């Protein structure tokens, strides 16, 4: 009769028993699920942080904070309210805009020629050239927009104008309640006035206190 193998101290060894009570296997069984749970929790926390960061860009305005205001685009109504063309030769209007805050003019834009859809950048071409070449500058001083401080109940007054040689035509003028606006792009639909009106308007509001790189990201946004 063949003898069973013995350990050094004379105790019989059973292979299946050793596998069943393998310490490493036991540790893995206990801790792997815990590790998976921790990883899932970290992913959820990371994603929620990213969502918060993105939502902050479109957050409500904060009392007492400074903001940069831009009219990014406007689509003028195709003709005056009386049906006449904007210009004598039936060409599209030469559009510019003015922004008023606290009854003061704070920005007059450049003029876009022969357009129904006018668009404006947040910074001039020279400023963007300096930035793209690695230079730094005081962005707030170079903006093509206005600077305001939010106060509950405050308003912006915006005037959209067709520049003519003899006398300018008003395309539209209107008040925007700051309480109803948010950081980021604020979109407005059809607005008819006694002069003509617009079919679409986009006003961007940016937190003036953002760090330099974040500020540039917001100023370069198109939507």
- Helix H, strand E, coil C: the string for 116-148 is CEEECCCECHHHHHHHHCCCCCCHHHHECCEEE
Report pLDDT digits (tens) over 127-146: 888 888 777 777 777 899 99
| CB-side neighbour CA atoms (13 Å) of 12 | 5
Rounded mean pLDDT of 67-83?
Answer: 92
Residue 83 has pLDDT above 80, yes or no: yes
Calpha distance 112→94 (Å, rounded) = 5
Class of 66-219 in CATH: mainly beta
Residue-level pLDDT at 57: 56
Higher pLDDT, 37 or 32: 32
């Amino acid at each position: 009769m063949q003898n069973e193998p013995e350990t050094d101290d004379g105790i019989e060894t059973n292979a299946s028993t050793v596998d069943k009570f393998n310490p490493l296997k036991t540790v893995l069984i206990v801790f792997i699920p815990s590790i998976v749970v921790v990883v899932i929790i970290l992913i959820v926390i990371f994603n929620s942080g990213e969502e918060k960061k993105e939502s902050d860009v479109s957050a409500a305005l904060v009392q007492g904070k400074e903001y940069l205001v831009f009219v990014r685009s406007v689509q003028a109504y195709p003709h005056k309210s009386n049906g006449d063309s904007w210009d004598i030769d039936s060409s599209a209007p030469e559009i510019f805009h003015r922004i008023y805050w606290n009854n003061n003019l704070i920005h007059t834009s450049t003029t876009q020629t022969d357009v129904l859809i006018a668009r404006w950048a947040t910074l001039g071409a020279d400023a963007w050239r300096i930035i793209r070449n690695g230079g730094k500058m005081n962005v707030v001083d170079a903006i093509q927009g206005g600077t305001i401080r939010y106060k509950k109940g405050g308003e912006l007054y915006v005037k959209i104008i067709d520049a003519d040689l003899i006398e300018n035509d008003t395309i539209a003028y209107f008040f925007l309640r700051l309480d109803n606006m948010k950081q980021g792009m604020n979109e407005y639909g059809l607005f008819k006035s006694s002069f003509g009106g617009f079919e679409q308007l986009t006003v961007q509001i940016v937190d003036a206190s953002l760090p330099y790189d974040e500020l540039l990201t917001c100023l370069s946004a198109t939507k």
